Amino acid sequence: MKQILIATHGKMASGIRYTAELIVGKMAEITTIDAYVTPEDNVEKKFEEYFAQHENDRIFVFTDLMGGSVNQKLLGYSQKENVTLITGTNLPVLMQIMMADDDVTEEEIQEFIDDAREELQVVNLGGGKKAASKDSIAENNGTIAENAAQESTKKSAPASKKAPAPQSYDNSTAKITALRVDDRLIHGQVAMTWTKQLAVQGIVVANDEAANDNTQKMALKMAVPGGIKSLIKPVDEAIRILNNPKASQMRILVLTRTVKDALKIRKNVGEIGFLNVGNTGRFDGIDVSEKLVLTPTIMLTDAEQQALKELVAIDPKACMQQVPNDEQKLVKDVLDKLN
């Protein structure tokens, strides 16, 4: 069985675990050792007890500094065949190991580390030399194919000019892999977990505000994992693109910020394999006292409640789930309990 040990000076170990599990989901096989927090800490004894307990498991050990005392004390254990020691720990490589299979190879781990190094960058949205590397990344991410949807949208249309409203898609034959309501759109949970869980090839963000804000668009594209194409469009234009026959040939995750937008897409797209309400209603400026709080991350106004009821009527399998490791709850079951 795969086991992960995070051992660092101070409380970095427990902190990075908390952050990783917030994004990936809680995992029982992670142990943290915050070394030298108190003068009485016997780090050597903690390590000895840990490895004795897990001598038959596959162990991945993460430490903070190559030359640090914590790493030095673990070098001996790293000679065991079942132990891999990784130092200079950062969040991306830790999450990759958390989501990897038990039989992950040393070569794959090195790829995770190489990819994680790319995450260390100066972020500059203002242009110039410092922004060049991220500009290149955004360009390389591409779109869901201005190629796949050329007949449906014009690349050269000014951002401020709204696309004409679609006609009717009552007989839509489009097939989309997944639709998720998430008020942060593309972020860690989406980039690191849902794209892998759903084997996504492309992401379509359907949001009017983000589509017409160049800063938001750049920030969202920065969060797109390598190898996955992305497209950020107003809702009506996204619907038109999703209904292009070529879009059905890709595994696409569609993201909306509100249930209302998700309902509009669901009404106009023939088939959606997985419909998920993750996070919504937290950042719209409306006081929480005026909302129905279904979970700490799902807060609905009256209009959004009605939209959710309509959404469930169309798709009874719609579920509530932040990350794949969380329990999956049907939205209709949660709503029924409120009535």
Catalytic residue among 2, 187, 246, 267: 187
Q: Are strands 252-256 and 175-182 parallel, antiparallel or unpaired?
A: parallel
Cα–Cα nearest to 66, from 57, 78, 55, 54: 78
Question: Quick check: helix, strand or coil at residue 91?
Answer: helix
Catalytic status, residue 54:
no
Burial 206-226 (b: 16+ CB within 10 A, else e): bbbebbbeeebbbbbbbbbbe
Question: CA 142, 146, 148, 152: dihedral to nearest 10 degrees?
Answer: 150
**Cβ neighbours for 92, distance < 8 A, ≥ 6 positions apart:** 112, 115, 116, 119, 192
Count, in order, helices (H) and strands (E) of the chain: 14, 13
Q: For residue 4, what are the CA distances in angstroms to 26, 61, 97?
A: 12, 6, 8
Helix (H) or strand (E) run with residue 290 in it: none
Structure tokens of 202?
A: 């492309």
Q: Please identify every residue annotated as catalytic.
A: 187
